[in-house]
Structure 1
Amino acid sequence: MSGELVPDHGELRASHEDRDQVVERLRVAAGDGRLTAEELDERLEVALTARTYRELEAVLTDLPATGPSWAGGVPSPAPNDRSRIAVDSASAKREGTWAVPRQMEIESNSGSVVLDFTSAVIGSPTLEIEASVRSGSVTLIVPPDVFVDVDEVAVSSGSVRHRAHVSAGTPIRLRIHVTGKVRSGSITVRPPRPPRRGFLQWLLRRPGPMKSIAR
């Protein structure tokens, strides 16, 4: 009909699928090191509550042109299917906003491997880890919403210690299934350590001077 108003593209309402696509793109960008943990949190909040395409486009303007077709890009890449870490008298660490793959192969001969999932970018609900630990160590640092199963790890003369537990009723963000062998090394699962107190905090909590005893 002539004279009918055509709404601007940016004012069109976004769907759940549109929001999910933007969320995935933001997580991949964080895993690539393009966004800090704080920036990721801020943009995820905007994306999850966005009502229009314009609001979604606002969190993508400074990212490479990959993403939903309506935003002028191509579909975001899926998380890596498999990753391998091998150390021999050395150390390897994954921390910060690193992208968690679906499968990992870890080989530690006489070195150490640390995987910190506290701020990791999780694109898949499950992670399969196949570990081979000879005389080295593998440490998984997991927040309260990450569940780790190490029951199927074969141990010769080493050790498997699980010190992180999920409280009843906690929504699980990631399930990690660990298999493989530990010969004379160790696999440890633990929660993140609490932040260290700064000097000012220590000073404020320091007990006051003892009162002199009245004679």
Structure 2
Amino acid sequence: MTGEVSPGGQNRPELRVSHEERDQVAEQLRIAAGDGRLTAQELDERLERALTARTGSELAVLVADLPAAQGAVPPEVKDLVRIECGSSSTERVGHWVVPRAFDVTVASGHVKLDFTEAVITQPVLRIDAKVRSGSLTLITRPGMTVDVDEVSVGSGSVKVRRPAATSGVGGEPTVLRIELSGSVRSGSIVVRPPRRGFWRWLLRRPHPGVSGD
């Protein structure tokens, strides 16, 4: 079984947005394009997504990298998201809204949480992970710190790999602190920055998301 379950075992869908809320985001996108923050192609793509958006989260990701505008729709942040992964895999990548807490159970599959482009609205994220023979991977970005002191390990492993520019060091502000707790039996938990592709390595460019890229 792979998927997301709301607290109490019941699905609780996000609230639907109105025409007015879609129009507010569309106007924010047009202003950003006028300021030179979006190209014409980006504007067209985001406007199309804004006008067909159904929930607040779908609108929020379209303006997450833009200055806040008066009347803009704030991201709808869930208090708790449960992920139950059996023998397959599930992931959160791209622009997604980080909840206040995760409850992750991995049997023999793989769960990946990629924070490099995620929408972060609060300073702390709590993750309670129960990893049996599968794996949990957290992909970090500059300004993130991860505390794994509360994770008990059996025959598995917990590895934390930090980029050259360590989060919270050298003036890098902390944008998110992850408090990871739970247990690992024969599986693994890996915390790492994004991988640098061959051409980035060849040209000695920094990892994606690292300042100076």
TM range (shorter): 0.5 to 0.7
Partner of 1:102: 100
What is the CA distance between 1:129 and its match in structure 2?
0.3
Count of residue pairs the alignment pairs up: 147
What is the CA distance between 1:34 and its match in structure 2?
3.2
CA distance in 1, matches of 2:148, 2:75: 30
Q: Note the residue ranges of structure 1 that are not aligned, 5 or more in a row.
A: 1-28, 48-54, 61-66, 68-75, 206-215
Correspondence list, 1:28-107, <5 A: 32-34=57-59, 40-41=64-65, 43-44=66-67, 47=68, 56=70, 60=72, 67=73, 76=74, 78-107=76-105
CA distance in 2, matches of 1:110, 1:144: 30
Which deviates more, 162-171 or 120-129? 162-171
Alignment root-mean-square deviation, CA: 2.8
Letter in 2 for 1:150: V
Partner of 1:189: 191
SS in 1 for 2:111: strand
Q: Is the 8 A contact 1:79 1:124 kept in 2?
A: no
Partner of 1:5: none
Bigger Rg over Cα:
1
CA distance in 1, matches of 2:178, 2:120: 11
Structure 1 residues 180 and 114 mapped into 2: Cα distance closer, same or farther (>3 Å)?
same
Partner of 1:136: 134
CA distance in 2, matches of 1:186, 1:31: 34
Partner of 2:171: 169
Residue deviations 1:42-100 (CA, integer Å, cap 9, x gap): x32xx3xxxxxxx746xx5xxxxxx5xxxxxxxx5651100011101010100111110
What is the CA distance between 1:124 and its match in structure 2?
1.1
CA distance in 2, matches of 1:102, 1:125: 9
Structure 1 residues 31 and 148 mapped into 2: Cα distance closer, same or farther (>3 Å)?
farther
Structure 1 residues 125 and 140 mapped into 2: Cα distance closer, same or farther (>3 Å)?
same
Structure 1 residues 135 and 197 mapped into 2: Cα distance closer, same or farther (>3 Å)?
same
